[in-house]
Amino acid sequence: MKIYLLLAHPDTSSFNGKIADAYEQAAIAKGHEVRRQNIGDLQFDPILWKGYKKIQELEPDLLRAQENISWCEHWTIIYPVWWGSVPALLKGFMDRVLLPSFAFKYHENDPFWDKLLKGRSAQLISTSDSPQWWLSWHNRNSDLHTLKNATLKFCGFSPVKHTRIGNMKYLYEEKRAEKLEKVRTRLIP
């Protein structure tokens, strides 16, 4: 399988970075082909200055991201939940990369659209200091709804699976090692 792996935490030395490393190594060991990008290493303007009225020229790193998305059969995104949502840099990445005519295309005479990235699946792996129940009850999984439903499914990704690792501030080395082992053994397609 062709897997595009996006580490969407800007710090590669974070626990999210360790998750990405474990995922990548396990996927390669299973025989998958992996292309990885670390969002913190990419050079791009995350702001849509004119919305989609005028498409900004894509920087080389974003062109590579579009190539990776077109190439992949499965997209894995690893990100932290900050303030109940995805990091701003990830949101800006999605705004800039998943463009009309690349990821979706509205119909002219009806309210529907074509999902131009059909035929691909996705896996979201998120971390948070909050417990899972808090994000579900208090925040209504706002990060997950935005990324899974309003973004990836909107563009045609299906299925989109999600794994959350909560209570990060209470996970000491032994528990973190258990979580990494779960990534290696149970989350690789």
The token duo for 100 is 């009309």
Would you mind telling me the total number of residues written for the chain in this entry? Answer: 189
Cis peptide bond upstream of 159, omega within 30: yes
Residue carrying structure tokens 């025989």? 31
The C-alpha atoms of residue 167 and residue 181 are separated, in whole angstroms, by 17
**pLDDT the model gives residue 17:** 97
Q: Taking the domains of the chain in order of start, what are their residue ranges?
A: 2-186
**pLDDT the model gives residue 72:** 98
Please state the pTM of the whole predicted model.
0.93
CB 159 within 8 A of CB 121: yes
Which of 52-61, 71-80, 87-96, 143-152 is predicted least confidently? Answer: 143-152
**pLDDT the model gives residue 169:** 81
The C-alpha atoms of residue 109 and residue 48 are separated, in whole angstroms, by 26
Cα angle 32, 34, 36; round to 5: 160
CATH architecture of 2-186: 3-Layer(aba) Sandwich (3.40)
125-176 pLDDT per residue, tens: 999 876 565 566 455 566 777 899 999 999 999 999 998 888 778 788 899 9
Backbone angles phi, psi at 168, to 5 degrees: -55, -40
Q: Tell me the Cα Rg of the chain.
A: 17
13-65 pLDDT per residue, tens: 999 999 999 999 999 999 999 999 999 999 999 999 999 899 899 999 999 99
CB 10 within 8 A of CB 39: yes
In this structure, the number of other CB atoms found within 10 A of the CB of residue 62 comes to: 21
